[in-house]
Amino acid sequence: MNDTWRSMSAADLGRKIDEGEICPLDLTACFLDAIDSHPLAPRIYARTMRQAAMDGAMAARGRARSGMRRGPLDGVPVSWKDLFDTAGTATEAGSALLKGRTPDRDALVVARLTRAGLPPLGKTHMTELAFSGLGVNPITASPPCIHDPDRASGGSSSGAATSVAWGLAPVAIGSDTGGSVRVPSAWNDLVGLKTTAGRIPLTGVVPLAARFDTIGPLARTVEDAALTFALLDGSAAPDLRGASLSGTRMLVLESVALDDLHATAAAGFETALGHLSRAGARIDRAPLPMIAEAMGLAAILFTAECYGTWGDTIEANPDVMFPPVRDRFRAGAAPRASDYVKAWLRLDSLRADYHAATAGYDAVLVPSVPSVPERLDALLADPAFFAAQNLLALRNTRIGNLMGLCALTLPTGVPSVGLMMMAPPFDEARLLRLGAAAETAMRG
C-alpha cells in the first residue's frame, strides 16, 4: 500500500496515471485496502463496492496502457453518498426506513462517472434522508470529524467528506439541499461545490426536497472539484489557468450571515478576507435585507416539501427514526398549501431583489458555517441542543439555496472554518476560477 497516494489530490493522481507512474488497479486496491483496515472506516462507509471498483480499475489500466484514457480522472476512484442509486448495491439514504432497498440501475451521475473511468469505492454514511446538517446519525453511523472523531463531521454528506479527509477516497460525491455538501466540507477542511438547482439531473437520486436538491463534489482542491463537476455536469472542465483576484469585486454579506459567529469562525473568516484583499480583490460590506425575509420563509419552503415527499413513509414506521430528525420532518405537516405557494411567490421576488443588489460583484462572501463542530455525545443527549445547533450550522449555507445560487466553500487554514463564495445561478465555471485564485491566495 502506498500511503502517499491517499493524501494526493485527485488531479495529481490522474497525472501520475497519465505519466505511467501509478497503475489504476494498484491505486484502487490501495484505497480499498485502506478502507478495510482503517479503524474509523465503519463510521464512514456504509458498504464498499470492491468488485465493481476493481473491474473499473482493470478497464482503466488497459486504457492507460494503450494511451486511450477518457479524461484526467480516468482510473481515479470515487466514493458515493448513500442516496445515489447503484445497481445491485443497497442505497438506503442513511435510514432504516429504506433498509434493503437495492436499485436495479445506476443513478445518471453514477453512470456518467463510471463511463468516465472513475471506479466506485462504495457508499458513504449520511444523516437520515439527508435532513440534518450536523452529520449525526445514531441509526447507522455518525462519521468522525477529521479534527476530533468524537465531534460532529457536518452533514448530510458526512461520510462523503470524511472519506476524503481521512484519506479513504480521492474525491467524493454528495448532495446539497440546504448546505449538505458545504457544511461537512468546511468542518473537514475541504473544497465543496453546491451546484445550481436544476443543472445536474437528479435521476436515480433519493430525493429530499426536489426544488432545492443539488449534486456536487467534495474534494481536496478546487481543481479536483472543477474536474469532477464537469463529469457530473456532462460539460467541459472549467479552465482554471491564470485565475486571478486582481480587479475583482467581492461583497461581504453582513445581514444574518455574521450574526452569532463562533470566535474561531469569525477569526478565520477575517483572516481569509485579508488574503483575498492582498491578492487584489476589492471587498465591500453591506446588509441585504431581503436575506432575512427569505430566511423566515425557510421553515415553510423546506419542511413542507420534505414532509410532502416522505410523510407517508415516515408515519408508516416512525419509531425507526432518530427522533430529532423525525420531528423536523413532521414540522412540515403544519403549513397549508396556500402558505407554501405564497412563500414561493415571495421567494421568487426576493431572489430578483438579491440579483439586482449583487449584480456588480464577482462573488458574495460569508463564513461557510457560523459554528464549529460540537461533541457527538452532547448533541445526542439533548434534543433541543441538537435542533438549535442544526439550524445554526445550516444558516449561512441555506442562503445560497434560497437565492438559487451556486456556491463554493474553501478551507481558510483555520481548522473547521470555511470561506463561502456565492455566484449567480449556472455560473459554476466562473465561480471555480475565482475559487482557484482564492485558494492560491489563502495558501500564501
Half-sphere exposure in the Cβ direction for 22 (13 Å, CA): 29
Catalytic residue among 9, 156, 368, 416: 156
* CA 225/CA 223 separation, integer angstroms: 5
Q: Are 326 and 307 contacting, i.e. CB atoms less than 8 angstroms apart?
A: no
81 is catalytic: yes
C-alpha cell at 140: 447507522
Q: Work out whether strand 282-286 and strand 249-253 pair parallel, antiparallel, or are unpaired.
A: parallel
DSSP H or E run through 423: strand 418-423
Q: Are 367 and 257 contacting, i.e. CB atoms less than 8 angstroms apart?
A: yes
Q: What separation in angstroms does the CA of 90 have from each of 77, 141, 157, 176, 220? A: 19, 16, 17, 21, 27
Q: What dihedral do alpha carbons 396, 189, 222, 205 form, nearest 10°?
A: -70
Catalytic residue among 180, 368, 371, 416: 180
Collapsing DSSP states into helix, strand and coil, what is residue 396? helix
180 is catalytic: yes
| Termini Cα distance of the chain | 32
The set of catalytic residues is 81, 156, 180
